[in-house]
Chains A and B, each alone.
Chain A
Amino acid sequence: MKYSLNMLGEYVNGKWSEDQVEHWLQMLGLNPLFTRKNNDVFIELEIPSNRGDLLSALGIIRALTPYMEIEPKYPDIDLQEKSARKLSVEIESPDDCFFYAGRVIESVSIGPSPEWLRERVESAGFRSVNNVVDITNLVFWEFGQPLHAFDIDLLKEKIIVRRAREGEEIITLDGTKRNLCNDVLVISDSEKPVALAGIMGGINSEVGPNTKNLFIESAFFNPVRVRRGAKYLGMCTDASARFEKGITPSLIVPALDRCCWLINKLCGGSTGPVCVVGDIRAEKRVIRLSMEKISNYLGCEIQKDFVITTLERLGCCVERQDDIMEITIPDSRNDIEIDADIIEEIAKYWGYDRIPESMPLVCSPTMSSYEYSRLDALKDVFIRLGFSEVINLGLGSEFQYEDTNSKSIEIINPLSRNYAFLRCSMIQGLLQNIQDNSNRKVDMLSIFEIGSIYKKTSSGFDEKPSAGIAVMNTYNLYYFKGIIEYILRKIGYGITSQRIVRKEYGRVIEFLQKEDTVGRILIPCDDILKKYDVEKQEIFLAEIMLQDFVLNGFSEIRYKEPPRAMPIRRDLSLIVPNSVDWRKVEEMLLKSIPELEKIEIFDIYIGRNIPAQSTGVAIRMFFPNPESSITKQDIEHIIANIIEIMQKHFSITLRQ
């Protein structure tokens, strides 16, 4: 709905300035947009979804009244009933239509609207159709009560307000054929639907150039019913938007009467008595409120005079009972339900900017949840390791690279196939990041992402925190593996075993904590590299499940005094057959050589000078030697022993 300033000005006694109106609308939070056109100003407003009353000229005027010094002026109604003709109306489902009113008008002449009317409906945002339709729209614009005109000669017998039956259809005024269902409320005659109640009329009862006799409808349809019907049909009209928010019961008949009066004035004809079914719900809404509550809520004193004047100018009736005001709310304001709603009205007209600021007193601070602080701190661990953070949408086309027994969750109303699934692994997003960066000629990348992954489980949907890590040309496999192992240790995971799994998308090293896979490294196969257009790059990915970490936090830091004695250190360069499980080597050496404290790997090489199916491993061994009792000869002996054990049990040889 559009509002022209000139037209709005016809509904007040006196003059206002454009600047005033703009300022007032601004103060009400309606974000007015003023556009100047042909000596007039057109106002577009953002109407909140609870303010159906503002979808009408009189509603807007009413909302401005507390600011104005001039008074609102109501449209004239001077209807004479000159015929006795009525139409029978039945409401089949009273829950869907609370009230229905209508009048028959006989012998009208349909034609184009006079210039003043055409101009008015057009500046209100409607298309001018003919004099009768234009009048219904003008009155709708004024009162916010949607009206509909039927050609009564096209109606069979009577009006029935009922749910559509499955399989029924109707061609609406926009020329579209609509297939109806039981969710949709229709106006029908004794044979067929003739209009979608509260949404749009049907072409089979349309008022055209040859129409002689009219039936004008003004009703109160259940907002939920109109909303559901419009949703089902995928329609949104001015009328449905208005009905969805609940119309003003006390304006149903006045709007009908003004419409009929204007039709008689412009198109002739004689109007019959009002046909009414149902009962206008005339419950009086009274809200009790004290001045104290207002100041406690807003944190400032507002004068009682201001409160009462404002409410009265909004159409409320205020009765003073000692300190407690009893406020009767006009039925146009169905958004005002509780005392806080009234406080908002008062604050609005007082002006939010006039309410002073005051810092709340310190109450006991609230603790943070571990989930936030731990995941946030983990980001710093990655940063220290040289990884940059990425954030992916987490939506995509069907996800792969998941573990076998999970299924990704599908959105039932996705934007497009490309964003129809929730990720169940971090891998896909990171591969995409690698491809995108590689395409942009970035040749080295170390990235991580911390976020949720989602899976379908037998009991429902599961959302878990996860970390994804990816490198391109920055680390070889062993350094990357070392980083992952460091993080697993840092976040308190005791890895009990690891498992190598071959998948169609590559090889996977799984890290297990007891039975659970808590981390995985993926070495993507050539097909995947080709798919992402990064065949020539050295790429590794990993994923770490963070659920246990969120519960338990980082591994505890416990100080241990470094040994005071100078340790003895010896390095060896080995050739290790790939069939050897290195953890077994370490295990055996530590068991058989009591003097040996630990073994560190400090370099790994493959390729040149290393036999096939073998890996070059440089190890560093530490012997604590607390009493300086190990002699040079002893250590030579121990080393010889170590070499022998490795040779004998694992066929490990020294590298020349």
Chain B
Amino acid sequence: MSHNEILENLDNIVKQAICELQKINDHTAIEQWRVKYFGRKGLFADITSAIPHISPELRSETGKKINTAKKQLMQMFEEKLGFLKNKEASDTDVNFTIPGIIPDVPNLHPITLVSREIVGIFQKLGFGIHVGPEIETDFYNFEALNMPENHPARDMWDTFYLDEDRKLLLRTHTSPVQVRVMQKLSPPLRIIAIGKTFRRDAFDASHSPVFHQVEGLMVDKNITFSNLKAVLIFFLRELFGSRVRVRFLPSYFPFTEPSAEISISCVICGGKGCQTCGNAGWLEILGAGMVHPEVFRKSGLDCKNITGFAFGAGIERIAMLKYGIDDIRQFYLNDKRFIQQFG
């Protein structure tokens, strides 16, 4: 073989070796490759053995070129070997198909979550958050709300009493907080109250003797029914999405006049009619109205120069619609598997 023939041969061997090496994917193949090129009878041994046959002045140059090529291939060989080792190790040391372990993430109760969402919306409008006692007096729960003794409207709230005179009771709504706040703070004021309320209703899918309410009150000079509508539509669209439609219809509460019952277009069917909305397309969500002058009077405010509106809603009902819960009892079972869904 001449010098040129050797170099040409070397070139081919290197090209072929690289090409073959790239395709190799396991240990057996790479060992065969090593033997083929660098084994005792391998191609490099072959080509090296040809060196003594060429002219002496070209020997050292040819030798260098062979060595360089050999080094280059050996390096590629080592890299490939390392890659194969890693690959096999990672395939067998760890099973990546086993799912990760999800941590036990602590959760707030959905009633707290919904309450916070409501609070957040009203805080944007400058409302303060207030609370009141759950054990109430007849005065705050009924009388100050324009329901004197023997008022037929008292039948709207089936009440738990704590004394024989029926003067102490578990509040049936959060409306007493209105009166307590108006006795303490002077207008202008805007507040919401959130808390537990109690009614003598037996448990079923939509009734619970204990539930939560949010109550709102805004009092100032020149507050109008039109303001009530704007605030409540803002609230409901923030809570249920901007596409929700809101309907106001007349209603009756002794402590508001005019009174309204407010419904939203069904969040399940969008108003077409379904089981949740009783095929009506509407869901009752809020009771509201302009504060009755008698309530101002009983709270010690001069009603000549002020007007106001008030509203109330059940937190559980809102949560049920928001999350698609169909049984109010779920809230009080405190099943970890229930609470964990709201994280």
Residues in chain A within 8 A of chain B (CB atoms): 26-29, 48-51, 223-224, 227-228, 244-245, 296-300, 338, 340-341, 343-344, 347-348, 352-353, 355-360, 362-369, 371-373, 376, 379, 382-383, 385-395, 409-415, 419, 422, 433, 436-437, 440, 442, 444-447, 451-452, 454, 461, 463
**Is B250 part of the binding interface, using a Cβ–Cβ cutoff of 8 Å?**
yes
Whether A463 lies near B128 (C-beta < 8 A) is: no
Interface members, chain B 138-163 (any A CB < 8 Å): 150, 152-153, 155-156, 160-163
Interface centre among B129, B156, B164 (most CB of A within 10 A): B129
**Is B340 part of the binding interface, using a Cβ–Cβ cutoff of 8 Å?**
yes
- A353's nearest neighbour on chain B, judged by CB, is B248
Q: Which of B111, B131, B222 contacts A372 (CB 8 A)?
A: B131
Q: Which of A49, A373, A446 contacts B152 (CB 8 A)?
A: A49
Chain B residues, Cβ within 8 Å of A360: 218, 220, 223, 227, 230-231
Whether A356 lies near B196 (C-beta < 8 A) is: no
For the complex, give the distance between the alpha carbons of A51 and B170 in Å. 28
Chain A residues, Cβ within 8 Å of B127: 365-366
Interface members, chain B 188-236 (any A CB < 8 Å): 188-191, 194, 196, 200, 202, 208-210, 218, 220, 222-227, 229-231, 233-234
Whether A296 lies near B170 (C-beta < 8 A) is: no
Chain B residues, Cβ within 8 Å of A454: 134-135
**Is B307 part of the binding interface, using a Cβ–Cβ cutoff of 8 Å?**
yes
Chain A residues, Cβ within 8 Å of B109: 388-391
Whether A356 lies near B337 (C-beta < 8 A) is: no
Whether B108 lies near A383 (C-beta < 8 A) is: yes
Whether A463 lies near B133 (C-beta < 8 A) is: yes
For the complex, give the distance between the alpha carbons of A580 and B25 in Å. 68
Chain A residues, Cβ within 8 Å of B104: 386, 444
Whether B336 lies near A412 (C-beta < 8 A) is: no
For the complex, give the distance between the alpha carbons of A348 and B200 in Å. 32
Instruction: Using C-beta atoms within 8 Å of the partner chain, give the interface range for chain B.
Output: 35 or more
Can you sample 7 A-B contacts with CB below 8 Å?
A: A26-B249, A29-B261, A366-B191, A388-B339, A393-B210, A437-B334, A451-B196
For the complex, give the distance between the alpha carbons of A338 and B332 in Å. 43
For the complex, give the distance between the alpha carbons of A224 and B334 in Å. 44
Whether B162 lies near A48 (C-beta < 8 A) is: no
B327 to A: closest C-beta gap in Å: 15
Q: Which of B112, B129, B164 contacts A369 (CB 8 A)?
A: B129
Chain B residues, Cβ within 8 Å of A341: 257
Q: Which of A27, A410, A446 contacts B106 (CB 8 A)?
A: A446
- B217's nearest neighbour on chain A, judged by CB, is A366
One digit per residue, 1 when the CB lies within 8 angstroms of any chain A CB and 0 when it does not, for chain B 119-139 equals 100000011111101110000
Residues in chain B within 8 A of chain A (CB atoms): 104, 106-109, 111-112, 116, 119, 126-131, 133-135, 150, 152-153, 155-156, 160-164, 168, 170, 185, 188-191, 194, 196, 200, 202, 208-210, 218, 220, 222-227, 229-231, 233-234, 247-252, 254, 257-261, 290, 292-293, 307, 331-337, 339-340
Whether A344 lies near B250 (C-beta < 8 A) is: yes
- A30's nearest neighbour on chain B, judged by CB, is B250
For the complex, give the distance between the alpha carbons of A223 and B251 in Å. 22
- B148's nearest neighbour on chain A, judged by CB, is A224
B209 to A: closest C-beta gap in Å: 6
Whether A355 lies near B226 (C-beta < 8 A) is: yes
Chain B residues, Cβ within 8 Å of A299: 224-227
Kindly list 9 other residue pairs between chains A and B, CB separation below 8 angstroms, not including A344-B257, A388-B106: A297-B290, A338-B293, A341-B257, A359-B234, A369-B129, A376-B116, A382-B106, A387-B106, A388-B107
Whether A390 lies near B134 (C-beta < 8 A) is: no
Provided the pairs A359-B231, A363-B188 are in contact, do residues A413 and B133 lie with their beta carbons within 8 angstroms? no
- A442's nearest neighbour on chain B, judged by CB, is B336
Whether A461 lies near B307 (C-beta < 8 A) is: no
Provided the pairs A340-B290, A390-B339 are in contact, do residues A296 and B222 lie with their beta carbons within 8 angstroms? yes
Whether B226 lies near A300 (C-beta < 8 A) is: yes
Chain B residues, Cβ within 8 Å of A343: 257-258
Whether B252 lies near A297 (C-beta < 8 A) is: no
For the complex, give the distance between the alpha carbons of A415 and B159 in Å. 10
Provided the pairs A49-B153, A389-B109, A442-B336 are in contact, do residues A357 and B226 lie with their beta carbons within 8 angstroms? yes
- B156's nearest neighbour on chain A, judged by CB, is A49
Chain A residues, Cβ within 8 Å of B257: 338, 340-341, 343-344
Whether B220 lies near A413 (C-beta < 8 A) is: no
Q: Which of A356, A366, A390, A393 contacts B126 (CB 8 A)?
A: A366
Chain B residues, Cβ within 8 Å of A296: 222, 224, 307
A494 to B: closest C-beta gap in Å: 26
